[in-house]
Amino acid sequence: MNFPYPEKFATWLAQPGFQKLSEADASSYLGEYAGQAWSVQLDNSRYVLTTIGSSACNVFSRDVDGAMTEDLVVGFLGYLKTQGATYESKRITPKSALADGVSTSYSVFVEGQVIMNIVLSIAPSSNGASQIALTASKTGT
């Protein structure tokens, strides 16, 4: 929830359980983009969080609860609605995707202008948990 707010985001990243990855380790998650990555341990779950400049944030995880993750994203969008935003969602899962895998795109609007796009991809894993990729990107200024 702190991603759109740089000061809160920096404070959030400084909490215990967040370990900044080396440039070499981060490159596995950043691909061709310049940015930073953190290994995150919260409760019993492990994540990798990346930032690309000040406009994009990605969260990667495996073996987590897909339904709970989707509920968290919808909860975040509900919070943004209390701040005057609206959103639209669209399933974008390609037909070639694995059975039961799903990707959903959310566009967040303020005063009719898109300010953020979020893509949540959930794929089942063999142990009954899910593999998650979540991307949030700010648009405009």
- pTM for this entry: 0.66
Torsion of CA 18, 22, 23, 27, to 10 degrees: -70
Summarize pLDDT for 72-84 with one digit per residue, the tens. 788 888 888 888 8
| C-alpha to C-alpha distance for 107 and 124, rounded to whole angstroms | 24
Summarize pLDDT for 4-32 with one digit per residue, the tens. 677 887 888 888 888 999 999 999 888 88
